[in-house]
Amino acid sequence: MKKGLFITFEGADGCGKTTQMNLLKDFLVKKGYDVVVTREPGGKGLGEKIREILLNYDGEVSDRCESFLFLADRAQNIDVIINPAMEQGKIVLCDRHTDSTAAYQGYGRGLDIKQINYLNHLATAGKKPDLTLVFDIDTETSMERVGKDKDRMESVGIEFQKRVRNGYLELAKKEPERIQVIDASKSIEEIHRYVLETIQKYID
């Protein structure tokens, strides 16, 4: 069976990961690789419907309900997009994945990390990214980048975003092999070069 490669892009809101994911995608496609891009929440179809609720619903949402919606979307993304692409030997780039739930619902909202790890495990049926890039930048700068037009998650507040950022750094300490932290305060070109250096050994 073909192996495929699964890379996830993580970081607090406004860290610039989506720009970098798209640059990497263009690079890999030019090199002739078969690349599939997806995102969480979202992806396609039902995932986009769940995304709509998660980012725009303006009534009360409990922290646990929020977690389960992210996890439901993840299960769909794994089953419908990620695993089928991997089985065909493709490179899958995913904008946010399991570490977002650990950082936002765990470190950010304060839910139990062990439980979140277990729920993530159920949602992914045990699949793990081969590589995770965490784009790290100070919270004041990232919030400035987000600007005034904030969705439900971005509106929680600056202290929440700081906990999320620190959460990612903690996660990276726990899994240094899989999670690479990238200084996202540099220019787009510099960060792109660093991303290319980091992924090189995975595509060789």
> Which residues lie near ligand TYD (CB under 6 A)?
13, 18, 40-41, 55, 70, 95-96, 100-101, 104-105, 153-154
DSSP-assigned letters across all residues of 42-65: -SSTHHHHHHHHHHH--S---HHH
Tokens of 82: 């990620």
In this structure, are residues 123 and 40 in contact, taking their beta carbons and an 8 Å threshold?
no
Considering the complex, what minimum distance in angstroms separates the CB of residue 126 from ligand TYD? 17
Considering the complex, what minimum distance in angstroms separates the CB of residue 204 from ligand TYD? 29
Residue 36 or 103: the one with the smaller Cβ distance to ligand TYD is: 103
Considering the complex, what minimum distance in angstroms separates the CB of residue 167 from ligand TYD? 11
In angstroms, the CA 144 to CA 146 distance is: 5
Contacts 24+ apart (CB under 8 A), 70-73: 70/40, 70/41, 70/100, 70/101, 70/105, 71/101, 71/119, 71/120, 71/122, 71/123, 72/123, 73/40, 73/41, 73/42, 73/43, 73/47
Residue 13 or 136: the one with the smaller Cβ distance to ligand TYD is: 13
Considering the complex, what minimum distance in angstroms separates the CB of residue 157 from ligand TYD? 12
Residue 33 or 80: the one with the smaller Cβ distance to ligand TYD is: 80
Residue 96 or 163: the one with the smaller Cβ distance to ligand TYD is: 96
Residue 90 or 109: the one with the smaller Cβ distance to ligand TYD is: 109
Considering the complex, what minimum distance in angstroms separates the CB of residue 85 from ligand TYD? 18
